[in-house]
Structure 1
Amino acid sequence: MPSSSSTRPMTPPTVWSARGHHPGPAAQDAVRTGLRQLKDRRTIDDFLEVPEAEAAQDWVFEARWRVAGSVTVRARLTVRRDLGSGQEWVLVAEAEAPWDPRWPSPAAMFWPQEPETAWDHDTVTGLRLRDINPLPSDDKAVRRILRDAARDGWSIHVVVHEAMTTDQRGQVPLAGMLPESLRHRVVEHRAAPSQLRVVNWALRDLDVQVPRGGAVVLPGAPAPADYDAESFSVRSVFLDGSEPAELIHAVTRFAALPRPLPEGGEEALTALREEWRLLTLQEELTRERALVAMYADALEAMTKSRDLYREAAEQAHAALAAFRESAEAAPERQPQPVSVPAPSPLQQLTRTFERLKSSTRPRRATPETGTEQEPEAVVAQRETSDR
């Protein structure tokens, strides 16, 4: 079973989200038409289309309505531009109270509900959200579809095994029996009686098994922390047109589990909260007051900063002036002459000793006079000492 993600933020209990694929062109036209009709019937309070120049590569629609009498719901639908294979859409709604699955589906506020309209394809598997999707006969194709379904974090995937071939009464989609808010979030996979073995073989890596003649809700990715395959398995599903109460209860419990936002869900929720344009008069007044308060705080901060800067500059100028005054009041120093140090007593004693030593040496006689003469070195040393 895929492990839960600890890096993504959790889905708030007030938020409903879905993602799908519109295989045809001009999805935005269908949305505009549906929103106008709902506003005329007062099903929704108001709607807004963000100008194309500001929406960049997307068509963005906003709508607001009320549920349970006074709970306001705000929803934002983003439709990608046509890339040649259809248009992908993301829808996020947030209420002023925890979301109740019995409330109307936000998808029904934007998209037409006629069965022939093809806006409700799951993005990961390409299968329909409001219909039964029989598994293909090829085993490799079965494994590929279930593997893709297991990594989907937007839709809820349910695998139902037919114990025997059903008649027309058993071909009623599960989506129509679910609470309204879940009808556009569930993908129903139907396995033929002979496909039980290949289905369970494809799901073995998830530690999930489909009971014979029963059903199981796949964990998705990231999986809810409280998911347990046994708790979301149904032993028997009677495909006779009656309401599968146990399976509906399992799907409803799974949808209520706390789980991380799917990939791309955080960005969509942030856009809903921070880029919301469809404001009431009271909301516009509140926003303008908040802006005025913000500007006042910024102006006050700038004024305080200016006053602190002025005070610091004045203190710096005062310190500089005091320094200059003290420098001018100090007497000017005269340069001191370079003095020759006097000879120390030891040096004087040494010189006297040298003179006495030289006076006691014998004199040499010269050949001409016959008198003694002092060595030249001694004479030179004596002259040097006497100077």
Structure 2
Amino acid sequence: MSNSATDRATIPQTLWAARGRHTGPDPEDLVRRTLRRHQESGDIDDFTEPDVPEDAVRRVFEARWRAGGTVTVRARLTLVPCEGRLQGHEWRLVADAERPWDEAWPSPATLFWPDGATGDDGSWDHHATVAGLRFRQVNALPADDKEMRRLLRDAAREAWCVNVVVHEAMTPDEQGRLPLTRLLPPGLRHRVVEHRAAPHQFRAVNWALKDLGCEVPRGGAVLLPPDPAPEGYDSREHSVRSVFLDGSEPAALLSALRHFVALPRPLPQATEEALTELRDDWTLMTLQEELERERQRVAMYAEALEAMTTSRDLYKDAAEQALAALAAYRDVPAPAPALPNQRPESGTPGALRQLTRTFERLTFKGRRQPAPQTPDLAGASANGAPEAPASAGPAAENGGAEATDGTTRSS
């Protein structure tokens, strides 16, 4: 359970909101019959059933009346089929007054639903999310401790209503077994769920309430803290030391309830959505209200048109300035293009140049060397000795003559 309030808006003092569940058949027809009866009796000025899409599962009813004869109240009830294990239709009722809500005004719930009906017509006061709980009856706590803790924890999460736990100091008589909510003002009567703990459940109920941070006095009552709790919330301020179950007005409990309802509690998201639909999608208007709404629309359209005109003028001025700047830019002669920077040639020859020079030197040297002379193999074979090469010079020739002479001498 959260211990601090969120940043959502607080519940407005002009709002009366409640949520419940109708378990009988055909709740739409029951609401129509109840509204028609109150219109005939003068309790409400008018009611209507706004159009909804054909495939929509919800039904919407609007009604207006004058609380106290002068204060206009607009109310909107939405019916949606329940999902999951819960049966019936969930209903959400929000009523918005022109000034802070007075607890003495009639309960909006009894203007849409029959208050004294029984059977299927009276099955509209079931708790919206917790099975077995009802608004107009005493809800005895379960005998099992864990089941009791689960029920109280689930009930405390419901921000649409106020949960009060009453401990019976002794077994009450028939008068004491009647619900205390019937003694509350109409503005609180159908927003309070009363839980009763038997005399022997005193320890068990306080054990179950330990997780919620509160405790019920013996023979007294305590209000379950809201979730999330507003800043500075003190559960001791909403605890009553003794409650007399003798049919008298529970003054101390009523004072605690008034203080609790007046707290600046955060507006639940579902309640905020319902209030927004009531104010924005309201269709049940008088001629004066329709005229005022059309005047507001004309004023809104005039403001939008003025804003569009101002934006157009600003855009036009900006476009003209841009065109003038572009024309001035075109009239200025273009500067001469800058020559690219000439990089000085490097003094070190590249690898290709070195290779070229090497080939040139090799070619030059090859041209200066004489070609080698081929010996005359045929002449050498005829004389019986190899012919001396021409490059031998005179010494070779003399040697050859001496050899010839020597041969002659020996012969």
Which TM-score band (shorter chain)? 0.7 to 0.9
Q: Does 2:301 correspond to 1:291? A: no
Q: Which residue of 2 aligns with 1:125?
A: 130
Which residues of 2 match residues 1-387 of structure 1 at below 5 A? 2-53=2-53, 56-81=56-81, 83=83, 85-116=87-118, 117-126=122-131, 127-313=133-319
**Match for 2:33: what amino acid?**
T
The equivalent residue for 1:362 is none
Residues 309, 183 of structure 1: alpha-carbon distance in 2 compared, 3 angstrom cutoff:
same
Deviation string, structure 1 residues 265-298 (Cα, Å, up to 9, x no partner): 1111111121211111111101111112222233
Say which SS state the counterpart of residue 252 (structure 1) adopts. helix
Give the conservation status (yes or no) of the 8 Å contact 1:161–1:213. Answer: yes
For residue 5 of structure 2, what is the amino acid of its counterpart?
Answer: S
Letter in 2 for 1:278: L
Q: Which residue of 2 aligns with 1:374?
A: none
String of CA shifts for 1:183-228, please: whole Å, max 9, x gaps: 1111111111111111000111223111111111111312233432
Amino acid at match of 2:31: V
1:233-279 Cα deviation digits (max 9, x unpaired):
22221212222222222222212222111241111111112121111
- DSSP 3-state at the match of 2:53: helix
In the alignment, the residues of structure 2 paired with residue 39 and residue 55 of structure 1 have an alpha-carbon distance, to the nearest angstrom, of 30
Q: Deviations over 1:335-386 (max 9, x none)?
A: 9xxxxxxxxxxxxxxxxxxxxxxxxxxxxxxxxxxxxxxxxxxxxxxxxxxx
Task: List runs of 5+ in structure 1 lacking aligned partners.
Answer: 336-387
- Kept in 2, the 8 Å contact 1:20–1:90? The answer is yes
Give the distance between the partners of 1:48 and 1:92, measured in 2 at CA: 15
| Cα separation, partners in 2 of 1:54 and 1:15, compared to 1, 3 Å | farther
Give the whole-Å Cα distance in 2 for the aligned partners of 1:82 and 1:217: 28
List runs of 5+ in structure 2 lacking aligned partners: 338-411
User: How many Å separate the matches in 2 of 1:318 and 1:229?
Assistant: 73
Deviation of 1:128 after TM superposition, in Å, equals 0.5
Q: Which amino acid aligns with 1:90?
A: R
TM-score with structure 1 length normalisation? 0.78
CA contact (8 A) 2:127 2:135 kept: yes
User: 3-state DSSP class of the match of 1:168?
Assistant: coil
**CA RMSD, Structure 1 to Structure 2 (Å):** 2.5
Distance 1:325 1:233, change over 3 A: closer
Residue by residue over 1:3-59, the C-alpha shift from the partner in whole angstroms, topping out at 9 and shown as x without a partner, is: 132222111111111111112232121111111111111211111211132793311
CA gap 1:226/1:65 in 2 versus in 1, 3 angstroms: farther
Deviations 1:117-152 (A, max 9, x none): 011111232300011111122222211111212222
Cα distance in 2 for partners of 1:243, 1:14 equals 26
- Please, what TM-score do these two structures have when normalized by structure 2? 0.74
- Identity across the alignment (%): 60
Are the equivalent residues in 2 in contact too, given 1:25–1:82 (CA < 8 A)? no
SS at match of 1:80: strand
Cα deviations by residue, 1:58-78 (Å, 9 ceiling, x for unpaired): 111111111133111111111
CA distance in 1, matches of 2:331, 2:150: 90
